Amino acid sequence: MLIALCSAKGAPGVTTSGLALALSWPRPTVLAELDPAGGDVLAGYGRGELSAGGLADLELAARRGGLARHLDGQLLRLDPEGRARLLPGLADPAGARHVDWDRLAAVLATLEDGAVDVIGDCGRLRAEHFPAAVVRRAAAVVLTTGSTLRAVRAATRAVAELRGEGHAGMVAALVVGPGEPYGEREIGEALGVPVIGSLPRDAKAASVLSDGAPAGRLFAQSALLRAARTVATRLVEFAAAHETRLPPPPAPVPSAAATIGGGRVR
């Protein structure tokens, strides 16, 4: 199952939420950094400890044929068991114009025959070289938004655009920092799409995810990670309801991948 996360404008926390969701996902998952503005996770959660080819190397491989074959070799473990893995994004955003999003989306949508879910961090909707093909192929498109009037207005325009492109049924919203001042119900009414849930403002846990701050013993029990588990479960249900076929049972995860982030969750 392919799930596209995106934002209308600003930086509401797509990447941080994507990482929190990947670490909390109830099935094997890959967080794919598809933001044409470049990847953040290696430098943030990964603390710059590891460099990896990721999307850029994958494109080189794709031009030689065999994108699907090379994908596995580009994935890094986000936890010791490798239940959550990362496809690192572009180190240089100039590479975005060379990415064949169509071909990549087709591979991601059927990764490991559907045994692995892919959460695609697609960045901002109207950005140049936005991976529209990923949104087209996704079982669910999750618009990440803040709860201020400014954020909700921008999200409302983005939903209208997504509707115009024929994505109405599978669009949902994820609220980061509800109650500033709007809550899930009001945001759902304004946007006219289901709100899959909220992630609370939790600066401490967010800084672990976005900037590699030390996790501490209680990170897995932080308000952000606890809420992410609830949102992840709901999102799997929402996306599965929009997916035409049932996903097969999880396959064993290959053991070759490196781990980043020190396995801070599991």
Q: How many residues bind Mg ion (CB under 5 A)?
A: 2
Distance CA 203, CA 224 (A): 9
- Please report whether residue 146 would count as binding ligand ATP according to CB under 6 A: no
212: left (phi over 0), alpha (psi -120 to 50) or beta: left
Contact 123, 130 (CB under 8 A): yes
Q: From the list ligand ATP, Mg ion, none, pick the one residue 75 interacts with, judged by a Cβ distance below 5 to 8 Å according to partner type.
A: none
Q: From the list ligand ATP, Mg ion, none, pick the one residue 222 interacts with, judged by a Cβ distance below 5 to 8 Å according to partner type.
A: none
Q: Is the dihedral of CA 235, 240, 243, 247 positive or negative?
A: positive
CB atoms within 10 A of CB 206: 22
For the bound state, the minimum distance from the C-beta of residue 209 to ligand ATP, rounded and expressed in Å, comes to 7
For the bound state, the minimum distance from the C-beta of residue 250 to ligand ATP, rounded and expressed in Å, comes to 27
- Please report whether residue 147 would count as binding ligand ATP according to CB under 6 A: no
* Region of 10-18, 21-29, 69-77, 234-242 interacting with Mg ion (CB under 5 A): 10-18
- Please report whether residue 15 would count as binding Mg ion according to CB under 5 A: yes
Q: From the list Mg ion, ligand ATP, none, pick the one residue 124 interacts with, judged by a Cβ distance below 5 to 8 Å according to partner type.
A: ligand ATP
Q: Is the dihedral of CA 141, 145, 149, 153 positive or negative?
A: negative
Contact 146, 177 (CB under 8 A): yes
Site string for ligand ATP, 98-127 (x = CB under 6 A): -------------------------xx---
